[in-house]
Amino acid sequence: MDSLGTGVFVPVSMLYFLAATSLTLVQIGAALTTAGLLALPAGPLVGGLVDRYGAKPVLQAANLAQALGFAGYLVVGQTWQIAICAWLNSAGRAVFFSCYGVTVTALAAPGQRERWFGLLGSVRNLGYALGGLLSAVAVTIGTHGAYAAIVVVNALSYVAAFVLMRAVPNVRPEAGQDAAGGWGRVLRDRRYLSLVAHQLCFAISLFVLNIAIPVYAVDVLKLPGWTAGAVFTLNTLMVGFGQGIVVGWLGGRIRSRVLVAGHACFAVGYLLFLAAVRVPAPALAVGVVLLGAGSYTFGEILGGPITSTVAAESAPDALRGRYLALNQLAVTVAGAVAPAALSGLLSNGPASVWLPLVGVSVLGAALATTIGKVVPAAQSRIGGV
């Protein structure tokens, strides 16, 4: 339910604000970045609460915060209003995924966690795919009412997710487990900090799908509006139906090496997006963009379940809430910086955005190699084979 609503809104988020307000692309990007920066403390602040009280109540509070934030999008018109509502969504999302990792790790047996992170990612992406189809219709219609309907659906999806989470057990650390050191212990763990740096690079690439690709395809390449929804739908269908198959096929392979391959796929996708600007025929340009989206998606499929598993297994049980909150902080930072950075780079031309992203992928591959040497969970083989 959560991903269905998000799937409707994410591909058209920037387009929605352009249609619903008189603000420019750069102003909107600045508002979303400000909200993301203000949301940075949310994940770390709740890490201790998760370790003490369990993930479920904190996760449900995040659902309600996001429902309120998206409802607010219906009435925004100024930069500061977008920033406030986006802050609720950014903070809620950061908290949600910190709790999500703790819950999955506790319920899934060792050796099966890539499979479960992959399966749940697939379910989430199938919801995104259904939402993407609806977003393509909304972009084609292009009216304010169509965009407003997207926001309403997303807000209601978070309410439904809150209700469904009532059936999930509240997992808490067992009594007597060593939680000594608290945040100081977490921040002194240099091996885990290298993993967080890698997570930052991976997360930057993940936000490209939400922010840069739709605007690039529609506003820069001047392709039909449905192209943005088609790219997002292709991505979610590939992840939804292919991720479990790929994780099974990767059984026995070293995790860090698969992460390197994922960053290579991201880089190839970015180069294809850059090449699309040189294609004169719109139909062929759409094909190049979809091919780039396919390569990009393979990067997500290869890296997604493994980054989640390595982050979770590298954290001690009693401090997993704090450790995963720190790891999620990298994702939140990427989400905070991405709107302003990517929109600003896009305004300077295709090469200005895609070549730096290739550089991010190269850095991510280098960090994956590093954690493969110093982080035991990254040295392990997928599936514990």
pLDDT digits (tens, 9 = 90+) for 89-145: 888 887 887 788 888 887 877 778 888 888 887 887 777 777 767 777 777 776 777
Q: What are 303's two structure tokens?
A: 């890296």
Q: What is the DSSP code (8-state) at residue 248? A: H
The answer, yes or no, to whether residue 177 has pLDDT greater than 60, is no
Token pair 């550089």 is found at: 359
Q: Give the mean pLDDT of the chain.
A: 84
pTM of the model: 0.77
pLDDT band at 362 (very low <50, low <70, confident <90, very high): very high
> Using CA atoms, how far apart are residues 159 and 2, in angstroms rounded to an integer?
8
**Domains annotated on the chain, with CATH:** 1-167 (1.20.1250.20), 190-382 (1.20.1250.20)
User: d(Cα 239, Cα 56) in Å, to the nearest integer?
Assistant: 26
The per-residue pLDDT for 5 is: 66
* pLDDT value of position 166: 86
Residue 367 clears pLDDT 80, i.e. is over it: yes
Count the neighbouring beta carbons within 10 Å of the beta carbon of residue 60. 20
Residues 226-252 as b/e (b if ≥16 CB within 10 A, e otherwise) read bbbbbbbbbbbbbbbebbbebbeebee
Does pLDDT of 257 surpass 90?
yes
Q: Give me 54's structure tokens.
A: 């369990």
- Range ranked top by mean pLDDT from 88-92, 146-150, 304-308, 365-369: 365-369
Q: Inform me whether the pLDDT recorded for 178 exceeds 70.
A: no
